[in-house]
Amino acid sequence: MEIYREFTFEAAHRLPQVPEGHKCARLHGHSYRVQVHVVGAVYPTSGWVMDFGDIKKAFQPLHDQLDHYYLNEVPGLENPTSENLARWVWQRLIDQLPLSAITVRETCTSGCVYRGQG
């Protein structure tokens, strides 16, 4: 079974590696949505894989580093694309949670899914 918990945060960024004239080179912000997906067996007594609250506790220190910050200044996010943000979250949670995917949405129509490879 796979379960997930979604988190939101507001942050500013710019993309330093885009071609000259690209709109994303300019400072702008997003209401980010991050989903943390975990997999495991459903325990017969609890009826759940794990408490959603435990996923929230694990993500909280990351939320504290991201919410209302300029992402380019966060260590490890100097080039804060969705892809790099998803990998950044994965690397900081994989020792604590049985992750299956991290999804990041920057806008209503754009995002990425990271499953620990690449």
Ligand X SMILES: Nc1nc2c(c(=O)[nH]1)N=C([C@H](O)[C@H](O)COP(=O)(O)OP(=O)(O)OP(=O)(O)O)CN2
Tell the smallest beta-carbon distance from residue 14 to ligand X (Å). Answer: 8
User: Would you say 8 or 110 has its CB closer to ligand X?
Assistant: 110
Active-site residue identified among 13, 30, 37, 106: 106
To ligand X, the closest distance from the beta carbon of 106 in angstroms equals 5
What is the spatial distance between Cα 28 and Cα 87, in angstroms, rounded to a whole number?
A: 21
Query: Any contact of residue 83 with ligand X (CB under 6 A)?
Result: yes
Cβ-count burial 56-87 (b if 16+ within 10 Å, e if not): eebbeebeebbeebebbebeebebbbbebbbb
Binding site for ligand X (CB under 6 A): 15, 24, 28, 81-83, 106-107, 109-110
